[in-house]
Amino acid sequence: MVRGVTFWSTPPSSLSTSGGGLEFLNGVIGLFNMEIDSRGNLSVTEWKWNT
């Protein structure tokens, strides 16, 4: 099992006013657990850190 922290930052091109982009991820901090089983199956769960 691997545990870690992510910090999301989207490129300027995704900050368009047309909506549907990834701008909602800007500045989001996440905590995650990642597991790989003996067959090589990957499972990742991430939670948003609410500040």
pLDDT value, residue 41: 97
SS3 of residue 39 by DSSP: coil
Residue 46, beta-bridge partner list? 32
How many domains are contained in the chain?
A: 1
pLDDT value, residue 12: 72
pLDDT value, residue 45: 97
Give strand ranges (E) for the chain: 2-7, 29-36, 42-48
pLDDT value, residue 24: 84
| CA gap 43, 3 in Å, rounded | 12
Task: Domain of residue 31: give its range.
Answer: 2-48
- pTM for the model: 0.68
1-51 pLDDT, tens digit per residue, is 999 999 998 877 655 555 667 788 889 999 999 999 999 999 999 999 987
